[in-house]
Structure 1
Amino acid sequence: MVMEGLGVAKYHDALSASTWHLLRMSEYKAPNAAEKTVRYGSHQDTNLLSVVCQHQVEGLEMQTRDGEWVLVKPSPTSLVVMAGNALRAWTNGRLHAPFHRITVAGDITRYSAMLFSVPHYKVEVPDELVDDEHPLRFRPHDNNDFVRFCVSEEGGRHEDKLKAYCGV
């Protein structure tokens, strides 16, 4: 749907064939306190898309573009879908990869399931997404190299790791 909306659906099959998926289950222990405790700090995902299902205990917070942290409250039958930095780069910045974190409070442990779509190819902006109104924002890069940069000492010094790694 994203590719159709951007007019680049012709790339779907090739990208899909070179994308792998990771399902991860997470447990965030309850702090047994009324105050919120950060259990997983602020970050942007490095992958294409993340799909999150949280069960009964809230805790996913996203940062708005003006810096405010808001609690994500999906319905019990909804999933949260977030763009990661690989999709941000591939779409030439047209999609936003939100900073997010996990906080918990109270005495109930939080569980969630996350499905990550991870590119196994060179992330390169299609020519159709570069024009005078949208100049090239990110150089082509291998996503595995970008992930290694993100967890390196150098990468840790940058808030916007994608821009630091391959920004134009």
Structure 2
Amino acid sequence: MIVSFAEKMLRLEEMVETLTLEGLGVGGESICAHFGQLTHGFRFSHYDPPLNKETGISMVPHRDDTMTTAILQHEVEGLEVRVEDGRWVAVPPEPGTITFVAGEQFTVVTNGRVKACDHRVRTPSNRERYAMLFGRKRQDGVAVTVLNDLVDADHPLMYRPLKHEEYSMFRYTPEASKFDDPLEAYCGVQKDGDGARV
């Protein structure tokens, strides 16, 4: 049953990615090549009641270092996403709903056009909660690179290639914690004084 469910989640996640990439102008051949370099994983998450009853925070704000993550919540509230104006918005655990979250790898692949989603777990009811997560990422040893279709005169290259396993090691270091955007610090193409990317 779990294998069948994971296969359906893979198809659904590929559909969401395809629609997003097509909407940005990426061709079918590039999308197929992109999918050929991905792997996926499925896990169950259990969150104890939050230690801090006042804030209700079970997991601090973060961005996934994956391509995308599909999140299925079970009955108890918790998932919150940060919207453009900085507010945190709750994503209700409605039956039959799936929340898709863009990760940092997708930011690189889309040349910064799809930002990784800031999200956290906050459970004001102070109950334990469960969730299922289905994530996709680049295969180990294969560099995450910007899709060529998304680089042009109006959209200069924003990220150098990165290897998932190396970046994952960096982003949990004290050095990475100094930056608001560890991804940008790690592989962002820097601007010179005139605003040109170098």
Which TM-score applies when normalising by structure 2? 0.78
Tell me how far apart the structure 2 counterparts of residues 33 and 160 of structure 1 sit (CA, whole Å): 26
Deviation at 1:127, TM superposition (A): 2.3
What pairs up with 1:11-160 in 2 under 5 angstroms?
A: 11-31=30-50, 35-73=54-92, 75-120=94-139, 121-160=142-181
The AA in structure 1 aligned to 2:95 is P
Deviation at 1:73, TM superposition (A): 2.1
The AA in structure 2 aligned to 1:53 is L
Structure 1 partner of 2:193: none
Alignment CA distance shift 1:136-1:104 (3 Å): same
Aligned length in residues: 168
Name the SS for the 1:153 alignment partner.
coil
**For structure 1, which runs of at least 5 residues remain unmatched after alignment?**
none
Structure 1 partner of 2:192: none
Deviation at 1:62, TM superposition (A): 0.8
Higher relative contact order (CA 8 A, sep 6+): 1
Q: Answer yes or no: is the 8 Å Cα contact 1:28–1:104 preserved in 2.
A: no
Tell me how far apart the structure 2 counterparts of residues 141 and 18 of structure 1 sit (CA, whole Å): 14
The AA in structure 1 aligned to 2:83 is T
The partner residue of 1:5 within 19, 23, 27 is 23
Q: Answer yes or no: is the 8 Å Cα contact 2:39–2:136 preserved in 1.
A: yes
Tell me how far apart the structure 2 counterparts of residues 74 and 14 of structure 1 sit (CA, whole Å): 34
Tell me how far apart the structure 2 counterparts of residues 145 and 32 of structure 1 sit (CA, whole Å): 32
Deviation at 1:15, TM superposition (A): 2.4
Name the SS for the 1:105 alignment partner.
coil
Tell me how far apart the structure 2 counterparts of residues 111 and 135 of structure 1 sit (CA, whole Å): 41
Structure 1 partner of 2:13: none
**For structure 2, which runs of at least 5 residues remain unmatched after alignment?**
1-18, 190-198
Q: Answer yes or no: is the 8 Å Cα contact 1:33–1:105 preserved in 2.
A: no
Q: Identify which range, 31-40 or 147-156, moves more after superposition.
A: 31-40
Tell me how far apart the structure 1 counterparts of residues 136 and 104 of structure 2 sit (CA, whole Å): 11
Which TM-score applies when normalising by structure 1? 0.91
Structure 2 partner of 1:163: 184
The AA in structure 1 aligned to 2:24 is L
Tell me how far apart the structure 2 counterparts of residues 156 and 49 of structure 1 sit (CA, whole Å): 22
Identity of aligned pairs, percent?
Answer: 35
Alignment CA distance shift 1:91-1:32 (3 Å): closer
